[in-house]
Amino acid sequence: MTLSRALRDDFPILGRAVNGVPLVYLDSAATAQKPRAVLDAVRSFYEEHNANAGRGLHRLAEESTEALAAARETVRRFLGAAGSDEIVFTRGTTESLNLVAEGWAKARLKAGDEIVLTEYEHHSNLLPWQRVARETGAVLRFLPAGALGALPPSPASALSNLLGPRTRLVAFAHVSNAVGTLLPAQEFCQAARARGAAVLIDAAQSAAHLPLDVRALGCDFLAFSAHKLLGPTGVGVLYARRERQAEMQPLLLGGGMVREVFLDRATLLDGPARFEAGTQPVAELTGLSAAIRYLEAVGLAAVREHERELTGRALSLLREVPDLSVYGPPDAAARGGLLAFNLRGVHPHDLAALLDQRGIAVRAGHHCAQPLHRKLGIAGSVRASFHLYTQPEEIDALAQALHDAHALVR
């Protein structure tokens, strides 16, 4: 069942107009809009509790430290982690992925070891592994994308066929940010762990849209960003199993992550503090906590069903637009709440500009996934992406605008 339109009233920005018409925001895969609960939480922290966490004994410092601990516990519960010590705060998915690459993989991989990725990856889950491979002599192997960006036949079996005795890590996007393909995360984790490989899931496009349980999935690492999860920008999460954390080194060194320092040496703290040098963004983490509580109140299963219905509606309506190519799986159940498309003979940027004139916000370009677009034989695409506040009439507005764009260029 489609979520209530009343939810939109929780998001102040959705009431504004663009180019003289009501905003139709279909760019949630780039960043999600923020409910008042998140805005109020951040403002309240700055107005009532602002201080540096873990740096003082006065009341405000204690309140800030408590807020940081509460945020860590909220994320732990949200992901189903065994303990809050498995939750590391970062600046976003990109930093989380680089932390695993630089802090865990680089010191452990040897020449000839293998890292298995997919052709769906965002550049943030590709470039760090390219560098690790160059510097260690490790080999990158890739699960190929299927036709039009859909899954290949029997994807778990195809992945298993790529795994060998030298496979050390399998890293993949849970949902493709470019074409929306939903990868079978639990099956991939099972296949990797059967070969003794560690698993990293890029959940940037799934954490806000699908129920997640890291223990049920069986992954070693999982990363996501707050800003795609209705939360503030500039903060993210890395889930890292305790056993893997013990094998990791930090990306950054400085205050807050040391046990004892001398002029010629230092010893580091254990647990997440080891990887969180410097002042923590407590205001943003307070906002992330509020975002998680908001999502939990709505229910991730309800969010998933809402977006599945919207995606099904979009697929059906966009197939009726002449000369429009839609990428990704043909079935809404096999994708996240986004779809990419091109209108024949029209540059994606031009099509996005036409849609913007109607107040419809979409993304155009290669979506930080150039290899996948190259595989599809295109330079870029237009992407419409949905969230819990998206309504069916906005899908209808997109479809009508595309019909009109086709008539205009033909």
Residues that are catalytic: 368
State whether residue 161 is helix, strand or coil: helix
CA-CA distance, 70 to 84, in Å (whole number)?
9
Please report which residue ranges of 246-322 form alpha helices under DSSP H.
Answer: 282-298, 300-318
Strands (E), 29-153: 87-90, 114-118, 139-143
CA-CA distance, 322 to 314, in Å (whole number)?
14
Please name which of 301, 385, 376 lies closest in space to residue 120, comparing C-alpha atoms. 376
| Phi, psi at 93, each rounded to 5° | -55, -45
For 360, how many CA atoms within 13 A lie in the half-sphere containing its CB?
Answer: 25
CA-CA distance, 213 to 210, in Å (whole number)?
10
| Phi, psi at 391, each rounded to 5° | -120, 155
What is the 3 state secondary structure string of 356-406? HHCCEECEEECCCCHHHHHHHCCCCEEEEECCCCCCHHHHHHHHHHHHHHH
CA-CA distance, 298 to 68, in Å (whole number)?
24
CA-CA distance, 93 to 74, in Å (whole number)?
18
Helix-strand-coil split of the chain, %, nearest 5: 45, 20, 35
Q: What is the DSSP letter of 276?
A: -
Q: 218 vs 79, 101, 165, 221, 242, CA distance in Å?
A: 12, 19, 20, 9, 13
Residue type at 194 in one-letter notation: A
Q: What is the DSSP letter of 229?
A: G
